[in-house]
Amino acid sequence: MKKTLLNRFVLLLTALLCCTGTFAAGKGGVKSSNKSLNKWSQRRYELHTGIGVTNFMGDICSPRSASKQAWILPFKTTGYVSNGLLKYQLTERQYVSGGMSVGYMAARETIQKQAKYYYRDGITFKTGFAEAAVRYEFTFIKEKTRRNVYRSLNETKLKNFTMPSYIFIGVGGMFNAGNFYWNDFESKPVKGRERYHEFYYNFAPVIMGGLGCKIRIDRNTYVGFEFGNRLALSDGIDHCDGNKERTPEHPWVFGKWVDQYQFLTASLVYKMREKRNHMPNFKTIGR
């Protein structure tokens, strides 16, 4: 009898401990699940897809004065670019991102003689390029929390307007391949003949910096604008390194300008939820 009572007591204690453990595990599991769900429901990822224009600053079309540090010659040093960028939000103000840009870049000198710039009869380069980069961003104007009840508060949409803005720095690599030309023009450019032509390719590590902003369209969609400058750690994007001596094959003389180029882009921005493995959920786009 005592043995049976003892057995029942042990069984009841075991059942009680099991129930307590199950309840504790269940409570902890719900908390963990809620925490995981909250993290999963956050929109830490942003996908940027955009197009824009490029500007090249190098030996071709370089200014005569070494004191001039920047120049834009429309239709002579401009090209176009398209890009894609995936950002991850580290904190409220900080992001890291990685992306790819592809496009076309060129500089074209004519026979016109101008005081501010070197123009060497018909020197031209035309190249396609691809750039891969990683960046760090700091938001200096934070995004406002949107009030969904602004109408009942007699507020306007303008008061709830938000334009978060940021600065960025980064590193990357740029590969380009294209053609270098020297054309000898006669009476008119259309009658010119090609004196020298060379296909070339070049790789350059780049250091970049710039600023950008975005304007909210709805909860998860924005329009973004960005300007960035790239400093190439080579002098071969335009196939002119500035060190070539005058020869019968290369009768031109260039200054020793370090190659730089700029992007000005407009983009569509989508905020994405995380999957449960904390990767971006691309299926949220277009929903």
CA 10 to chain centre: 66
Decide if 137 contacts 88 (C-beta within 8 A).
Answer: no
The residue behind tokens 């998860």 is 220
Gap between the Cα atoms of 173 and 232, Å rounded: 9
Separation of alpha carbons 272 and 47, rounded Å = 8
Q: Which residues pair with 47 in a beta bridge?
A: 86, 270
Taking the model in full, what pTM does it have? 0.74
Averaged pLDDT, 214-229: 92
CA distance 271 to 280: 9
Higher pLDDT, 95 or 154: 95
| pLDDT top residue among 28 and 124 | 124
Of the listed ranges 8-22, 125-139, 157-171, 223-237, the least confidently predicted one is 8-22
Q: What's the CA gap between 287 and 283, in Å, rounded?
A: 8
Choice among 31-45, 186-200, 226-240, 243-257 with the minimum mean pLDDT? 31-45
Block residue for tokens 């070339």: 200
Task: Answer whether 82's CB lies under 8 Å from 50's CB.
Answer: yes
pLDDT confidence tier of residue 34, bands split at 50, 70 and 90: very low
Contacts (Cβ under 8 Å, ≥6 apart) of 195:
122, 182, 183, 184
Distances (CA, A) of 220 to 145, 157, 168, 286: 13, 17, 22, 10
For residue 219, pLDDT beyond 50? yes
pLDDT value of residue 149: 45
| Contact of 274 with 45, CB cutoff 8 Å | yes
Residue 140 has pLDDT above 50, yes or no: yes
Report pLDDT for 116. 63
Nearest CA to 222 among 168, 162, 274?
162
DSSP character at residue 91 = S
Query: Of 206, 92, 100, 89, which is closest to residue 136 (Cα–Cα)?
Result: 89
